[in-house]
């Protein structure tokens, strides 16, 4: 199976040998966005908007965690 939109790390952590994704995982995308924001734009404040969808939740959680660690 090739997934073009599954970003939850649990998908590939189950050990299935025939499951692949073509997008980064939430635990890669969230920190990447947060680090870019902090290193490039260097804001004094940042907000994370979580749309409460299954897709957005993982990204928001990982971004928020990285931003808090950088503060």
Does the pTM exceed 0.85?
Answer: no
Please give the pLDDT value at position 36. 96
Please give the pLDDT value at position 54. 84
Sign of CA dihedral 63, 68, 70, 71: positive
Burial of 46 (0-12, 13-18, 19+ CB in 10 A): middle
Alpha helices, DSSP H only, in the chain? 10-13, 26-36, 54-70
Please give the pLDDT value at position 55. 84
pLDDT tens digit sequence for 24-56: 999 999 999 999 999 999 999 999 999 989 889
Phi, psi of 7 (to 5 degrees): -110, -10
Geometric angle at alpha carbon 32, from 49 and 50, rounded to 5°: 15
Question: Is the pLDDT score of 71 beyond 90?
Answer: no
């Amino acid at each position: 199976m090739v997934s073009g939109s599954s970003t939850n790390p649990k998908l590939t952590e189950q050990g299935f040998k025939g499951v692949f994704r073509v997008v980064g995982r939430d635990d890669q995308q969230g920190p990447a966005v947060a680090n870019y924001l902090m290193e490039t734009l260097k804001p004094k404040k940042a907000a994370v908007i979580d749309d409460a969808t299954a897709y957005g939740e993982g990204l928001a959680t990982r971004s928020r965690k990285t931003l808090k660690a950088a503060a």
